[in-house]
């Protein structure tokens, strides 16, 4: 049996905290990433993160540690032990794990332990010690296994046999199956009718309570894992079962968690995706500067927004509004580098007063035009783009994007390395404009959030 170590737990917590999807580990070690859409005592309905694959996974197909974590999360573990106990064991493994179950098979090298998650062959050499422990039937068997066993125990030709089986099934919370046997008892012996009716009403109440608890758990799980639309849907399922005050409180809780999380989560994802697009554009030697900017500000940006609409289950307007509410902890900085001459030294006025100061200085520098030099090798913006390497292109496009779409905090300038910020060079007796900065003398960096 594979033991889930701290790494697995770490990954699980990491995913739970950072992404919309979760990771689940299968018993063979395969890891799937996606969403748990629904669950019951037998199956999980799982959708992979790209929504391409939909799986019904039985609990026994999962890694036992995973089962434990998820069942705790969903409160599927029975709270009070069932009355009937079976003789079982706690198996302590040498590497630190624990498995509980009945000893189903004792081979010369291997013990097979059975519990409700499945059968686990454990090599004897891996076992530190065995300890006896009484286990409830529901800890050892799955609901369907219990059902098969229980059917054999009762006389299903008689009404009382069906009644007894129904009551047994109720203890294991197999409500639907219990209902079938109650109906059967009533059919065989109509005199049981009122007794059956009373139990059926109790079952409906218990099911509703379970249902309410299940949706409330899901609401919290979805909220904690930032799947807000799902959380809101889960809450709406039980709207009628909650008092108005409870409902409004949950809704308020959801909204505040959403408002706290979404702006930066969206901004982070937005900027990461824009940077990836900008890298692709910068590597493409076939497109010119005009096309590159068109691609970035039209095609790529709308694709990114569409992705976020899907990822966060929000509308385009909501995604944009959350992006505008961002408050990034550290500013981004991108340099126009040797392409500064295309945009000039002074850009959009910064937001912060500190930034305005640096901007005023840079504006002054920009105003100091070079008059005593002639231009000899004038470079066009397209000519610069063609010669620039992909890093220079990427920086230039990101600086452009930052300035256009985000809040500029300040600007920084760096001496042109070609002319040491003189803006001119000597060529024979002539003074010529520096071909790199074209007389702008500095490279400009945009700093913003
Ligand atoms: Zn220069």
- Average pLDDT over every residue of 342-358: 88
Of the segments 8-17, 107-116, 298-307, 345-354, which one has the largest average pLDDT value?
298-307
- Average pLDDT over every residue of 387-407: 96
Report CA(443)–ligand 1 centroid distance (Å).
9
Report CA(403)–ligand 1 centroid distance (Å).
23
CA distance 58 to 24: 12
CA distance 448 to 41: 51
pLDDT score, position 51: 60
Is residue 362 a contact partner of residue 440, using CB atoms and an 8 Å limit? no
Confidence of residue 97 (pLDDT cuts 50, 70, 90): confident
Report CA(131)–ligand 1 centroid distance (Å).
80
Report CA(284)–ligand 1 centroid distance (Å).
27
What is the DSSP secondary-structure string of 40-89?
A: -SSEEEEEETTS--EEEEEGGGB-HHHHHHHHHHHT-S-SSPPS-EEEEE
Report CA(369)–ligand 1 centroid distance (Å).
13
Report CA(435)–ligand 1 centroid distance (Å).
7
CA distance 392 to 52: 38
Residue 345's Cβ-side half-sphere holds a number of Cα atoms within 13 Å equal to 26
Q: What is the mean pLDDT of the chain?
A: 86
- Return the higher-pLDDT residue of 192 and 47: 192
CA distance 163 to 156: 9
Beta-bridge partners for 89: 101, 132
CA distance 90 to 11: 27
pLDDT score, position 52: 63
- Return the higher-pLDDT residue of 153 and 113: 113
Report CA(420)–ligand 1 centroid distance (Å).
7
**With 90 as the cut, is the pLDDT of residue 236 above it?**
yes
Phi, psi (degrees; rounded to nearest 5) at 413: -120, 150
- Return the higher-pLDDT residue of 43 and 345: 345
Confidence of residue 4 (pLDDT cuts 50, 70, 90): very low
Confidence of residue 3 (pLDDT cuts 50, 70, 90): very low
**With 90 as the cut, is the pLDDT of residue 395 above it?**
yes
What is the DSSP secondary-structure string of 88-117?
A: EEEEEETTS-EEEEEEEEE-SSEEEEEETT
pLDDT score, position 8: 46
Phi, psi (degrees; rounded to nearest 5) at 43: -130, 160
The radius of gyration of the chain from alpha carbons, rounded to an integer in Å, stands at: 34
pLDDT by residue (tens digit) across 287-297? Answer: 999 999 999 99
Residues 6+ apart with CB under 8 A from 200: 179, 182
| CA quadruple 338, 341, 345, 347: dihedral sign | negative
Share of the chain above pLDDT 70, in %: 91
pLDDT score, position 77: 55
**With 50 as the cut, is the pLDDT of residue 349 above it?**
yes
CA distance 446 to 444: 7
Complete domains list, the chain, with CATH = 6-74 (2.30.30), 85-140 (2.30.30.100), 143-223 (1.25.40.10), 262-324 (no CATH), 332-448 (no CATH)
- Average pLDDT over every residue of 133-151: 86
Report CA(328)–ligand 1 centroid distance (Å).
34
Is residue 325 a contact partner of residue 432, using CB atoms and an 8 Å limit? no
Report CA(446)–ligand 1 centroid distance (Å).
19
Residue 42's Cβ-side half-sphere holds a number of Cα atoms within 13 Å equal to 10
pLDDT score, position 13: 43
Report CA(295)–ligand 1 centroid distance (Å).
30
pLDDT score, position 370: 78
How far does CA 355 lie from the centroid of its chain?
36
Q: How far is CA 407 from CA 325, 399, 416, 418, 436, in A?
A: 11, 12, 26, 31, 28
Is residue 296 a contact partner of residue 282, using CB atoms and an 8 Å limit? no
Report CA(419)–ligand 1 centroid distance (Å).
4
Q: What 3-state class would DSSP assign to 406?
A: coil
pLDDT score, position 30: 77
**With 90 as the cut, is the pLDDT of residue 10 above it?**
no
Of 54-63, 84-93, 427-436, the one with minimum mean pLDDT is: 54-63
Element (H, E) at 22: strand 22-25
pLDDT score, position 307: 96
pLDDT score, position 146: 85
Q: Burial-class residue 3 by CB neighbours within 10 Å (0-12, 13-18, 19+).
A: middle
Report CA(71)–ligand 1 centroid distance (Å).
66
Phi, psi (degrees; rounded to nearest 5) at 128: -85, -50
**With 90 as the cut, is the pLDDT of residue 284 above it?**
yes
Number of C-beta neighbours around residue 323 at 10 A: 20
CA distance 281 to 295: 8
**With 80 as the cut, is the pLDDT of residue 21 above it?**
no
pLDDT score, position 58: 82
- Return the higher-pLDDT residue of 321 and 427: 321
How far does CA 165 lie from the centroid of its chain?
43
Best CA proximity match to 395, nearest among 449, 333, 341: 333
pLDDT score, position 286: 94
Of 3-7, 94-98, 213-217, the one with minimum mean pLDDT is: 3-7
Would the pTM count as exceeding 0.75?
no
Residues 6+ apart with CB under 8 A from 60: 27, 117, 118, 142
Report CA(192)–ligand 1 centroid distance (Å).
99
pLDDT by residue (tens digit) across 37-81? Answer: 777 777 787 777 666 667 778 888 888 888 887 777 666 654 444
């Amino acid at each position: 049996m594979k033991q889930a170590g701290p790494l697995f737990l770490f990954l699980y917590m990491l995913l739970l905290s950072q992404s919309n999807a979760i990771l689940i580990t299968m018993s063979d070690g395969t890891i799937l990433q996606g969403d748990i859409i629904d669950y019951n005592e037998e199956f999980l309905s799982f959708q992979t993160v790209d929504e391409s694959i939909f799986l019904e996974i039985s609990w026994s197909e999962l890694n036992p540690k995973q089962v434990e974590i998820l069942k705790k999360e969903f409160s599927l573990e029975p709270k009070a032990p069932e009355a009937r106990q079976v003789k079982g064991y706690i198996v302590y493994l040498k590497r630190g794990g624990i498995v509980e179950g009945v000893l189903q098979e004792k081979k010369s090298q291997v013990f097979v332990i059975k519990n409700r998650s499945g059968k686990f062959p454990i090599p004897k050499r891996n076992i530190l010690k065995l300890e006896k422990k009484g286990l409830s039937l529901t800890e050892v068997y799955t609901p369907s296994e219990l059902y098969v066993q229980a059917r054999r125990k009762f006389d299903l030709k008689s009404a009382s046999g069906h009644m007894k089986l129904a009551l047994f099934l109720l203890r294991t919370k197999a409500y639907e199956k219990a209902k079938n046997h109650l109906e059967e008892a009533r059919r065989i012996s109509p005199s049981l009718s009122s007794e059956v009716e009373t139990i059926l009403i109790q079952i409906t109440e218990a099911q509703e309570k379970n249902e309410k608890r299940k949706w409330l758990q899901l609401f919290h799980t979805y909220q904690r894992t930032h799947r807000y639309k799902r959380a809101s849907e889960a809450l709406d399922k039980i709207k009628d079962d909650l008092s108005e005050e409870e409902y409004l409180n949950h809704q308020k809780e959801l909204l505040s968690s959403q408002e706290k999380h979404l702006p930066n989560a969206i901004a982070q994802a937005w900027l990461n995706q824009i940077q990836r697009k900008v890298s692709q554009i910068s590597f493409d030697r076939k497109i010119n500067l005009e096309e590159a900017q068109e691609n970035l500000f039209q095609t790529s940006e709308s694709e990114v927004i569409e992705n976020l609409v899907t990822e966060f289950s929000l509308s385009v307007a909501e995604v944009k509004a959350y992006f505008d509410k961002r408050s990034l902890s550290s500013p981004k900085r991108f340099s126009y580098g040797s392409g500064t001459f295309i945009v000039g030294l002074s850009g959009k006025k910064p937001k912060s007063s500190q930034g305005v100061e640096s901007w005023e200085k840079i504006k002054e520098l920009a105003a100091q035009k070079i008059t005593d030099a002639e231009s000899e090798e004038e470079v066009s913006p397209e000519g610069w783009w063609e010669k620039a390497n992909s890093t220079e292109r990427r920086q230039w496009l990101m600086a452009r994007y930052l300035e256009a779409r985000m809040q500029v905090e300040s600007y920084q300038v760096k001496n042109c390395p070609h002319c040491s910020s003189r803006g001119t060079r000597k060529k024979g007796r002539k003074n010529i404009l520096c071909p790199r900065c074209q007389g702008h003398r500095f490279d400009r960096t945009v700093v913003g959030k």
